[in-house]
């Protein structure tokens, strides 16, 4: 007699998402056809030590009606080939769909992607905000087999983490402005950083005061951390510091002087050259 | 009663009259460019920008990377088919299908090359407006996003197309090296959906990696590299100047020779006339060929590059000074406490 068999739950699988993937999904959702309730697409990335790193994605046209679903496999293959030529390291790791709930056809699509890669991840992004928030969830599928016969599939939610390093490079504020915003200037950034630094320092200060006054229970590891940080500041003699400061200042001033000199020369050559005898 | 003006006609008229004011990048386009350039670093990479040309704004709504060209077997035709396949696939999911330019990564802003100008002119033949987004991964790692949108000035393209890249034509059209490139301000645009997404995934850390990068005091290596490039450029300037002065010397010498020859010929003709013979022609085009003038384009590009390096040197210098002053203030405050 055939035995009933539920495939092992892959332990320790988690998903790490790049924000770009989510932005791409949002854009694809905005650009969907009028009658189309949701968009699906392929996720690209790589798997290291059981962690699925999702780095890129592209939308794939599909059609759903009642219990039938058709995915444009040709489109998926072509785009995969094209992406592969740019970045060899990115493999198919799963697929995404917009919406919050899993539906019947999802199992079919999951079957297709499971054949494309090992441990296909299914990502849902609730772009329509049915649940009231833009929830993001990742699933992997477990198979329920009776001997050779497939009986069912179980989607199991796995941990999903969103890396923010990339949006930090661009700047959250720059991206967050509703509508259009010009790029921030250098000095604005520095000022913001200083404001933050000050805030963090005053918070640490307030915490230390509170603990000293007995208003708050002391946390030893936190205290150690603060002490380490404070002792980490190098201590200089006033003279030494002065020297260092003037040295650096003079260096920068010299470089600036040089660059201005070069510019002056360029401008001079521009003016001195005549139409019959151009210097440059 | 006047005929109603259709929107299409109005839109058309607008694009004709108004110059390009702003390049608007969608949030995911910025992220894509940053990703591709960062992955490719230190190799320089390029990609295509897709979008819409709306009056004074050039909206860049999507982009895709080009495969890097170091694979030798990748022929020219292969690249073209890649582009076509990609655009066809993207059209199927309703992405804007108009090419509006390209993006490329750069090292310390050294992007002014002849290839860039040739690409611009190539693009200009098929599309009216074309922009090149230049991204510098190195300076961006220091806490400031370094994105630039550049185009060529219309006058320059006109002169270039007429094949008149000689010094004479350039002077006639009053084009100096400052009139080659045009920088256009960039706006970043997020759709409401993207904005809400950002709110839900935004890190609530009190300080992010950019804050640390910004407070970094050492600009030494960057300045060094910049100065090195500037030095190379200045060498080029000197070489070009030598070419120009060599040309002037040659022209002067030729003119002198011509005068001597003419004098000799006149004397000869005078004696021949006395002897009753036919005078020889006083102009001999075969003898003195015009000396080719060195192309001004190289000089223009080098000048632009020198200017660029100077600007960034100034910029970094000023930045360091700011930070040093701050440090000084901080130190004083600490000593007085």
Could you read off the pLDDT of A123-160 as tens digits, one per residue?
888 887 777 777 888 888 777 777 667 767 778 888 88
Please list every residue in chain B whose beta carbon sits closer than 8 Å to the beta carbon of residue A170. 27, 30-31, 34, 145, 188
Q: What is the pLDDT of residues B139-159, one digit of tens each?
A: 777 777 788 888 888 888 888
* A26 interface with B at CB cutoff 8 Å: yes
Choose, out of A24, A25, A169, A193, the residue to mutate when testing the contact with B (most B CBs < 10 Å): A169
Concatenate the DSSP letters of all residues of B271-329 into one string: HHHHTTPPPPPS--TTT-PPPPPPPHHHHHHHHHHHHHHHHHHHHHHHHHHHHHHHHHH
Could you tell me the pLDDT band of residue B319, with boundaries at 50, 70 and 90? Answer: confident
Give the model's pLDDT for residue B200.
Answer: 79
Quote the pLDDT of residue B15: 45
Q: Do B189 and A183 touch (CB under 8 A)?
A: no
Rounded distance between C-alpha atoms, residue B46 and residue B43, angstroms: 10
Q: Answer whether residue B164 is part of any domain.
A: no
Residues of B in contact with A28 (CB under 8 A): 93
Domain count, chain B: 2
Asked if residue B145 and residue B33 are part of one domain, the reply reads: yes
Q: Is A61 on the interface with B (CB under 8 A)?
A: yes
Paired with A95 in beta bridges are A42, A122
Among A234-243, B217-226, B308-317, name the most confident range: B308-317
Contacts of B306 in chain A (CB under 8 A): 262, 266
Q: What is the pLDDT at residue B280?
A: 74
For position A180, what pLDDT does the model report?
A: 62
Indicate if B291 and B204 belong to the same structural domain.
Answer: no
Q: Are residues B249 and B302 in the same domain?
A: yes
**Inter-chain residue contact A262 with B306, CB threshold 8 Å:** yes
DSSP bridge partners of B54: B57
Q: Which H or E run includes A247?
A: helix A238-272
Cα atoms found within 13 Å of the Cα of residue A45, Cβ hemisphere only: 27
Residues of B in contact with A253 (CB under 8 A): 317, 321
Class of residue A194 by CB neighbours under 10 A (exposed 0-12, middle 13-18, buried 19+): middle
Question: Are A180 and B65 inside 8 Å of each other by CB?
Answer: no
pLDDT averaged over every residue in chain A:
80
Q: Residue A257: which pLDDT band, with cuts at 50, 70 and 90?
A: very high
Q: What is the mean pLDDT of residues A11-31?
A: 84
Specify if B315 maps to a domain: yes
> CA-nearest residue of chain A to B46?
A86
Does residue A165 sit at the B interface (CB-CB below 8 Å)?
yes
CB contact under 8 A, B66 and A86: yes
Residues B210 and B94 both lie in one domain: yes
Q: Residue B83: which CATH number?
A: 3.40.140.10
**Does B198 sit within 8 Å of A175, measured CB to CB?**
yes
What pLDDT, in 10s, does the model give residues B270-290?
888 888 777 777 776 666 777
Q: Touching check for B185 and chain A: CB below 8 Å?
A: yes
Q: How far is CA A210 from CA A131, A224, B210, in A?
A: 41, 16, 30
Taking 70 as the threshold, does the pLDDT of residue B190 lie above it?
A: yes
Q: What is the pLDDT of residues A152-207, one digit of tens each?
A: 777 888 888 887 776 766 666 666 665 566 676 767 777 888 888 888 888 888 98
Task: Please tell me which residue of chain A has the smallest CA distance to B67.
Answer: A86
DSSP state of B106: -
Residue of B nearest to A249 (CA): B321
Which of A31, A86, A241 is the closest to B65 by Cβ?
Answer: A86
Q: Looking at the complex, does the CB of residue A31 fall below 8 Å from at least one CB of chain B? A: yes
d(CA B333, CA A150): 73
What pLDDT score was predicted for residue A74?
87
Q: State the sign of the Cα–Cα–Cα–Cα dihedral A152, A156, A162, A163.
A: negative
Would you call B67 helix, strand, or coil by DSSP?
A: coil
Q: Which of residues 205-244 of B touch A (CB under 8 A)?
A: 206-211, 214-215, 217, 219, 223, 227, 230, 234, 237, 240-241, 244
Residue B174's Cβ-side half-sphere holds a number of Cα atoms within 13 Å equal to 0
**Given a cut of 80, is residue B165 above it in pLDDT?**
no
Please give the residue range of the domain that contains residue B250. 232-254+285-336
A274 pLDDT above the threshold of 50: yes
Asked if B202 lies within 8 A of A176 by C-beta distance, the reply is: yes
Q: Is B321 in contact with A258 (Cβ distance < 8 A)?
A: no
Taking an 8 Å cut-off on Cβ atoms, the answer to whether B144 and A186 are in contact is: yes
Q: Which residues are CB-neighbours of A18 under 8 A, at least 6 positions away?
A: A53, A54, A55, A56, A162, A163, A166, B35
Average pLDDT for B260-270:
86
Mean pLDDT of A259-271: 84
Q: How confident is the model at residue B2 (pLDDT cuts 50, 70, 90)?
A: very low
B134 and B80 housed in the same domain: yes
Percent of chain B predicted with pLDDT > 90: 0
Instruction: Return d(Cα B22, Cα B53) in angstroms, integer.
Output: 11
Q: Which residue of B has its CA nearest to A57?
A: B32
Q: Is 60 exceeded by the pLDDT of residue B10?
A: no
Q: Treating both helix axes as pointing N-terminal to C-terminal, what angle do B27-40 and B192-201 enclose, rounded to 10 degrees?
A: 60
**DSSP letters along B107-165, please?**
STT----HHHHHHHHHHHHH-S--EEEEE-HHHHTTTS--EEEEEE-HHHHHHHHTT--
Residue B166 lies in a domain: no
| Averaged pLDDT of chain B | 79
Is B143 found in the same domain as B203? yes
Q: Determine, yes or no, domain membership for B54.
A: yes
The strand pairing partners of A179, in sequence order, are: B190
pLDDT at A102 > cutoff 80: no
Q: Is residue B171 part of a domain?
A: no
Most confident of A192-201, B165-174, B213-222: A192-201
Name the residue among B145, B177, B310 with its Cβ closest to that of A183: B145
Does residue B222 sit within a domain? no
Do B112 and B87 lie in one domain? The reply is yes
Please say if the pLDDT value at position A66 is more than 80. no
| β-pair partners for A142 | A154
Residue B136 has pLDDT above 80, yes or no: yes
Are B191 and B242 within one domain? no
Nearest Cα of chain B lies from the Cα of A87 at a distance, in angstroms, of 8
Choose from B29-33, B121-125, B241-245, B285-289 the range with maximum mean pLDDT: B29-33
Cβ-based contacts of A180 with chain B (< 8 Å):
22, 24, 187-189
| pLDDT of B16 | 52
**Predicted pLDDT at A104:** 74
pLDDT digits (tens, 9 = 90+) for B67-101: 876 554 555 567 778 888 888 888 888 888 888 88
Superfamily of domain A4-167: Cytidine Deaminase, domain 2 (3.40.140.10)
pLDDT value at residue A278: 55
Among candidates B197, B210, B296 on the partner chain, residue whose Cβ is nearest the Cβ of A23:
B197
d(CA A26, CA A12): 29
User: Does residue B172 sit within a domain?
Assistant: no
Q: Of B35, B89, B322, which is closest to A75 when you measure between CB atoms?
A: B89
Q: Does A238 touch chain B (CB under 8 A)?
A: yes
Strands of A18-125 (E only): list them: 40-48, 51-60, 62-65, 68-71, 91-98, 121-125
Residue ranges of domains in chain A: 4-167, 184-272
**What SS3 state is found at A53?**
strand
């Amino acid at each position: 007699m055939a035995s009933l068999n539920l495939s092992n739950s892959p332990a320790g699988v988690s998903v790490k998402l790049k924000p770009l993937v989510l932005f791409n999904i949002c854009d694809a959702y905005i650009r969907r056809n009028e009658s189309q309730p949701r968009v699906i697409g392929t996720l690209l990335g790589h798997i290291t030590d059981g962690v699925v790193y999702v780095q890129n994605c592209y939308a794939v046209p599909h059609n759903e009606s009642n219990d039938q679903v058709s995915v444009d496999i040709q489109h998926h293959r072509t785009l995969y080939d094209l992406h592969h030529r740019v970045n060899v390291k990115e493999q198919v790791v799963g697929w995404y769909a917009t919406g919050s709930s899993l539906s019947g056809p999802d199992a079919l699509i999951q079957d297709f992607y499971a054949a494309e890669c090992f441990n296909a991840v299914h990502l849902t992004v609730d772009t329509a905000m049915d649940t009231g928030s833009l929830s993001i969830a990742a699933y992997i599928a477990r198979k329920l087999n009776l001997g050779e016969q497939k009986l069912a599939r179980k989607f199991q939610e796995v941990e999903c983490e969103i890396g923010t390093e990339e949006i930090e490079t661009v700047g959250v504020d720059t991206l967050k402005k509703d509508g259009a915003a010009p790029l921030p200037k250098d000095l604005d950034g520095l000022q913001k950083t200083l404001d933050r630094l000050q805030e963090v320092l005053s918070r640490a200060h307030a915490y230390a005061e509170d603990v000293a006054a007995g208003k708050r229970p002391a946390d030893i590891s936190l205290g150690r951390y603060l002490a380490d940080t404070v002792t980490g500041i190098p201590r200089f003699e006033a003279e030494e510091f002065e020297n260092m400061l003037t040295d650096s200042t003079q260096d920068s001033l010299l470089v600036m002087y040089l660059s201005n000199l070069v510019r002056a020369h360029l401008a001079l050559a521009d003016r001195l050259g005549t139409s019959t005898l151009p210097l440059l | 009663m006047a005929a109603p003006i259709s929107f299409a006609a109005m839109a058309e008229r607008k694009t004709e009259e108004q110059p390009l004011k702003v390049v608007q990048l969608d949030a995911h386009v910025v992220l894509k460019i940053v990703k591709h350039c960062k992955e490719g670093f230190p190799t320089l990479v390029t990609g295509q920008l897709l979008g819409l040309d709306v009056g004074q704004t050039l909206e860049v709504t999507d982009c895709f990377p080009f495969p890097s060209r170091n694979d030798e077997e990748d022929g020219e035709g292969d690249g073209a088919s890649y582009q076509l396949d990609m655009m066809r696939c993207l059209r199927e999911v309703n992405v804007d299908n108009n090419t509006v330019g390209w993006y490329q990564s750069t090292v310390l802003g050294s992007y002014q090359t002849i290839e860039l100008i040739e690409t611009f002119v190539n693009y200009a033949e098929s599309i009216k407006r074309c922009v090149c987004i230049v991204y510098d991964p190195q300076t961006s790692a220091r806490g400031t996003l370094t994105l630039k949108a550049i185009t060529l000035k219309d006058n320059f393209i006109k002169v270039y197309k007429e094949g008149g890249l000689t010094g004479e034509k350039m002077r006639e059209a009053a084009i100096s090296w400052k009139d080659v490139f045009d920088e256009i301000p960039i706006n970043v645009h997020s759709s409401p959906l993207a904005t809400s997404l950002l709110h839900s995934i935004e890190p609530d850390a009190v300080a992010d990696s950019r804050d640390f990068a910004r407070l970094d005091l050492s600009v030494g290596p960057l300045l060094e590299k910049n100065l090195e490039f500037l030095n190379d450029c200045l060498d080029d300037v000197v070489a070009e100047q030598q070419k120009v002065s060599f040309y002037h010397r040659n022209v002067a010498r030729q003119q002198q020779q011509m005068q001597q020859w003419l004098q000799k010929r006149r004397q000869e003709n005078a004696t021949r006339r006395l002897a009753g013979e036919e005078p020889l022609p006083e102009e001999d085009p075969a003898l003195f060929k015009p000396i080719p003038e060195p192309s001004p384009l190289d000089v223009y590009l080098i000048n632009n590059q020198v200017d660029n390096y100077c600007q960034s040197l100034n910029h970094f210098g000023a930045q360091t000074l700011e930070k040093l002053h701050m440090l000084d203030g901080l130190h004083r405050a600490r000593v007085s406490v």
